[in-house]
Structure 1
Amino acid sequence: MAKPDWGALQDQFLAEHAKTGISPKDWCQAQGLNYATAKRYIKVTNYGANSQKGSAKKNANSQKVKTPSARPAETFREKCETGNSEKYPETKPIRGSRTAPPVNPFPPGNQVALKHGGYARRLLLSDEVIEDAKALSLEDELFRLRASNLVAAENIGRWVTLLEDAEEPQQKKSLLENISAAEKAMMRNTVRIESITGTLATVGKIYADTDYRLAATEKVSLDADRLKREAGDPNNNAPRGLNDFYADIETDT
């Protein structure tokens, strides 16, 4: 038996589908083809499904009156060249800190610093999960661990009650294994609770120490500039401090 020419059959089906809207299964049955085999080749493509719509749209557009272009090609090219430079400046933004805002931040709509979201794409997480995960904090993790310990303690109490009434050895063994697993889970959760609690207590101290060191560094730098200015430099190579810039501004005004 000769192998069917699926390309020609597909073209024939698309032509009849465009006229009558027949489905691939009905068309295969009418042609005496096995649909289980032919469905790999006989299918409604985007071109076939939208052929009538495209033809109607083309005819409608052909009836419209053509108007001359409002701007020449040079104007459009200049707009593209200048528009991108205005929207996305070449100056690299300076990242801000907890106490200082960023300098020259990216404008809205610029996706240069957009996160890749690699885990979200590969884990196929829903938008709700991604949004909630971004809003979670260490306090939420601490709450979950404490709630898990309470649930485990409740289960242990229920299993102990069942163990007292159990008569079969297999049932007692299963209950003892559940109790042991719940107790181990509570111990692991307790260790993580202690770790998160210590981290939360340390974060505030780290922020305070960082602010103190920044202030101390700025104070030392200003004192060094002041001492160099008071001592004088015959070569005039001493670094200029903030007070020098302020003095120059007052002199110019």
Structure 2
Amino acid sequence: MNKREWEQIKFNFAIEYNRTGVSVLSWCKENQLNYDTARRHLKIKNAKLLNFTPSELKKRKRRRGPPLGSQNALKHGGYSNIFCNITNQKVVAITEEDELCLSRIRIHKAMQAINKLQEKLQTNIRVETCIKLMNALFLVEQSIDRCIGKIELIKRTSSKTRIEKQRNYDLNHNSQLQQT
């Protein structure tokens, strides 16, 4: 059965449930539906809410996933184009120079974090703490690698564009010399 058919079946079940309080199993037997398939689609909590048409039901469905603006899945933010400048104001990196500046700032902060982690490693002797600090050190080194890769990419693309501009200039200049 397709989605539209299941929407209609859900609606029919909701009407019957609200009228008689029938269970999903008995309703499936009455309507000759496979219970194992239907139980995925027919929920009593949804039937209680269904005093609406199937099109109104679609409008009432809750949004799946985390709340808007949630950053639970954010791992490191290493590819973000927003950073804080010297005066702690948020700045959006628009140009290549901004991106380079952002990457260099991140490398600088990561190097400071490495120094702090190494100091903590020298003072703590508990094994669990050392493992946590080594994991943190590994993650910081990964962020440095990402930033270096980003800097290399930006430099490579900017040098390619400069070379292309120079070639175009040379071609235009040579063609103008040949015409005169």
Please tell me the TM-score bracket, short chain as reference. Answer: 0.3 to 0.5
Bigger relative contact order (CA 8 A; separation at least 6): 2
